[in-house]
Structure 1
Amino acid sequence: MKADSETLSIGAAADRFGIATHVLRYWEDEGLVTPVRDASGYRRYGPGDLVRIAVILRNQLAGMTLDQIGALLDGDRPGRRSVLEEHLRSIDDRERELARSRAMTEHALRCEAHDIVACPRFARMVDDVVHGAAWSTDGAE
């Protein structure tokens, strides 16, 4: 086992990432992190565990579910490729929606119309939704 100076307690690991200790315990229950136990039975998080925690946090911010993150972290998981490909499609959809939102926001900043919804160009930006197109990126109406 690594020396304690090379590992962090659950409290220190949680503090480092700004999360609660129960979150780390839950992720352990889900198999996302596997800290070693010291002689007293306390969890010790090594460098690899810290990388896994960072991967989990970064990908949660990107919209991944814990199941998807589990697939990302587990190279032997059945269906891993399809889970990750679906997540990439989701990212592409969100990037398109963010670009649309950016264009609308930039136009609103420059537009001289007092009532932005009365601006013809602004209205054209949402014309597809006004006329019944699915409004969400997942195809739900």
Structure 2
Amino acid sequence: MSIGDLAGRFGLATHVLRHWESVGLLSPERVAGRRRYGPDDLYRVAIILRAKEAGLGLDAIREMFATKDPIARRGVMRQHRDDLRRRIDALRASLELVECALECEHVDVATCPHFRAVLDARIEDAARTATHPGPGGI
């Protein structure tokens, strides 16, 4: 199928497929100078889209495709899982803060003891991180 056919099947612009090709995620056959995609390319695009929905960046997806070593592939996935867990934790904390503010009867939410207690946990985390930075810290 043509690039237009494949892109249309997934609701993508053709330039997206060209970009994925330029970064090494796709390598369509060339027939008379035109890109031609087969059934394997359909699956490849579906995998790329699914991985993007899961939050993986194109570099991680390429790394996943490039390695034939299951241990290395699991390493990429573990890294992503750990990143997702950190983001989920941060989102839960944000949601807790918003819910606390919504339920607060104080005129100024910043003076609410419960709201401040929620923020105290954040302040403690910041102090702990500043004292003991992780691998990406100072």
| TM-score above 0.5, yes or no | yes
C-alpha spacing 1:110/1:129, structure 2 compared with 1 (3 Å): closer
User: Does residue 15 of structure 2 align to residue 22 of structure 1?
Assistant: yes
4+ runs of 1 displaced by more than 4 Å?
A: 137-141
Structure 1 residues 54 and 120 mapped into 2: Cα distance closer, same or farther (>3 Å)? farther
In 1, Cα distance between equivalents of 2:42 and 2:72: 26
Which of 14, 33, 36 is equivalent to 1:44?
A: 36
Match of 2:50 among 48, 58, 77: 58
Matched residue SS, 1:31:
coil
Which one of 97, 100, 104 corresponds to residue 107 of structure 1?
100
| TM-score of the two chains, using structure 2 as the length reference | 0.71
Identity of matched residues, %? 42
Amino acid at match of 2:63: A
How many residues matched?
Answer: 132
Q: Quote the Cα distance in structure 2 between the aligned partners of 1:119 and 1:25.
A: 54
| Structure 1 residue 127, shift from structure 2 partner | 1.7
Q: Contact between 1:71 and 1:84, CA under 8 Å: does it hold in 2?
A: no
**How far off its partner does 1:140 sit?**
4.8
Unaligned runs of 5+ in 2: none
1:22 partner amino acid: H
Q: Which structure carries more helix by proportion?
A: 2
Partner AA of 2:48 in structure 1: I
Higher RCO structure, 1 or 2 (CA under 8 Å, sep 6+): 1
Which deviates further from its counterpart, 19-28 or 55-64?
55-64
Give CA deviations for 1:64-121 in whole Å, capped at 9, x if unaligned: 2222112333450583332221111111111111211222222223222333222222
Unaligned runs of 5+ in 1: 1-6
With structure 1 as the length reference, what TM-score do the two structures score? 0.70
